Amino acid sequence: MNAHRKQLIALARPVYLSLLASVASGIINTVWVSRLGGPAVAAVAVATNTENVLLGVALVFASGTTVLVAHARGARDPAAVRAAVRGGWALCALVTPVVAAGGLLLRGPLAGLVLGGDGAARSLATAYFAISLPGMTVFFAQQLVDGILKGTGDTRTPMRLALLANALILLCDPVLIHLYGVRGAAASTVLCRAVALAVGLRALRRSALLRTAAEAPPAAPARAALRRTLTTGLPMSADFTVRQSGALVLVAIVARLGVPEVAAYAIAYKVMYVATMAFYAVRQAAAIHTAHTRGAGADARRDIGRQAVLVSAALGLTASAVFAATAPWIMAAFGAGPEVARQGALFLRCVGPYLLLMACFIALGGVFEGSGGAPALLRVTLLGTAVQLPLALALGGLGLPGVCLALALSMAVQCATATALLRRAGHHEEAGTPLARTG
C-alpha cells in the first residue's frame, strides 16, 4: 500500500469514529427528550442546530491551531509548536466569553427568532439555552484540545474523548432528564463534556511533543501568535459557514416542491451524514499529513492529494451503491409515509454522482488546508455555492432528481477548479509562490 495512503487511513479512521460519536450525542438527547413531548423535541432540535452553527466559530481557533501545530511538528520546531498552542488558547479565551455571555443574555430572543410564536417550545428552548450557551465554554475548550492533539498527529485520543463523553451522556441523560426535564438534557451534555475535557487536558500534559515545546523559548509574542491563528483558521471557519448557509437555503428551495419532498430530503440528508462524515475524516487526515510533510515539495503534496481522493472516492462509491440498493428500507426505518418514502428513495438513488464528486472535492480540501491554501479553498466553495443555488432553483421543476443534478453539477465545478489550482500551485513551486496566492 502507498505510504501516504496508509498514513491517511490511519489518521482518518479515529477522526471518523469521533465525528460519529458527536452526532450520536444529539441522537441520544433527542431519544430521551422525545418522552417529554413535541415542544421539548423542538426546543432541543433548535439548540442542537445552534450548536452546529457555533461550531463554525470554534473552527477559527481549533482548525487553525491544528494546522499550525502540524506545520511546526513537520518542521521539528518546538518553539513554533509552543507559539501555535499559545495562539490557539489566546484566541479561544478571547472568543469564548463573547459567545457564552452574549448567548446567555440573548437566549430569549434567539429562541423566539427560530421558534416564532410557539410559546411552549420557545420557553423550553430558552431554558435549554440558559445552560447550553454558557456551556459553550466547555465545548470550545474541548474543540481546541482536540485540535492541538490532532496537530501533533494524535487522532486517537480525540476519538477516545468523544466516545467517553457520549458514553457518559448515555448514562446521565435518562437520570437528569427525568429529574429536570429539558434543563437536564443540557446539563447532562455540558457535564459529560467537562469530564472529557479534563481527561483531554491531562492528555496534553502527557504529550512528549508538547512537553518539549513548553520548555522552548517562545517563537513569537502572544498577540502575534493569536493573529496567526486567526489568519489561518478564519478561512476554514468561513468555508464551513458558507456550506452551512448554502445547505439552509437549499432546504428552502426544496420546500417549494412540496411537503413530501422536503420531508424526504431532510431524512435522506441525515442518512448521508454517515458517508459525508467519512469524507471529512479523510479531509482532516489529509490536512494533518500535508502539514507534517509541507517541506517535501509539490510532488509529495500531489501524491497526498491523489491518495486522499482515491480513499475518499472509494468511500463515495461504496456509499452510493449502498444507498441505491437499500433506499426503500432506509426510508421505512424512519417510519416515513408512502409518498415521503418514495421521494426519499428516489433522492438516495439519484444522489450517487454528487456523493462521488463531493468525496473527491472534500478530500482535496484537506491538501489546501494543510499547505496554507484555505483562502483559495474558500473561494472555490463560494463559487460552488453561487452555482449550486441558482441551478437548484432552475432544475427544481424536475423534482428531487433535478436537485440532485444541480448538486452534482456545482460539485463538478468545484472539483475542476480545485484540481486546476493544485496543478497551478505545482507549477509555481519553484518560484516560491504559496498555494494561498495561486487562486
Q: How confident is the model at residue 438 (pLDDT cuts 50, 70, 90)?
A: very low
- Reading phi first (left if > 0) and then psi (alpha if -120 to 50, else beta), residue 432 is in left
Asked whether residue 397 is domain-assigned, the answer is yes
Per-residue pLDDT band for 27 (boundaries 50, 70, 90) equals low
Q: Is residue 261 part of a domain?
A: yes
Same-domain check for residues 157 and 279? no
Mean of the per-residue pLDDT values of the chain: 83
Segments forming the whole domain that contains residue 302: 256-439
- Rounded to whole angstroms, the Cα distance separating 361 from 370 reads 15
Q: Note the pLDDT of residue 437.
A: 47
Same domain, 201 and 296: no
Q: Are residues 372 and 438 in the same domain?
A: yes
Whether residues 184 and 269 share a domain: the answer is no
Does 248 reside within a domain? no
Establish if 115 belongs to a structural domain.
yes
pTM: 0.81
Structure confidence at residue 400 (pLDDT) = 85
Q: Are 359 and 316 members of one domain?
A: yes
What is the spatial distance between Cα 3 and Cα 6, in angstroms, rounded to a whole number? 5
Is residue 285 one of the residues assigned to a domain? yes
In tens, the pLDDT along 69-87 reads 988 888 888 998 999 999 9
pLDDT for 193: 93
pLDDT digits (tens, 9 = 90+) for 395-422: 888 888 888 899 999 999 999 998 888 7
- Residue 79 burial (C-beta neighbours within 10 Å; 0-12, 13-18, 19+): middle
Q: pLDDT tens digits, residue range 150-188?
A: 999 898 999 999 889 988 988 898 899 888 888 898 899
Q: Does residue 250 belong to any structural domain of this protein?
A: no
Same domain for 162 and 215, yes or no, is yes
CB of 320 closer than 8 Å to CB of 39: no
Which among 61, 59, 81, 85 has a CA at the least distance from the CA of 72? 81
Contact assessment for residue 292 and residue 311, using Cβ atoms and an 8 Å cutoff = no
Give the pLDDT mean for 345-363.
Answer: 90
Q: Is 275 inside a domain boundary? A: yes
Lowest mean pLDDT among 113-117, 199-203, 206-210, 390-394: 113-117
189 and 266 assigned to the same domain: no
The answer to whether residue 119 sits within a structural domain is yes
How many domains would you assign to the chain? 2
DSSP 216: S
- Amino acid 38: pLDDT: 66
Residue where a domain stops, chosen among 198, 232, 266: 232
Phi, psi at 203, each rounded to 5° = -65, -35
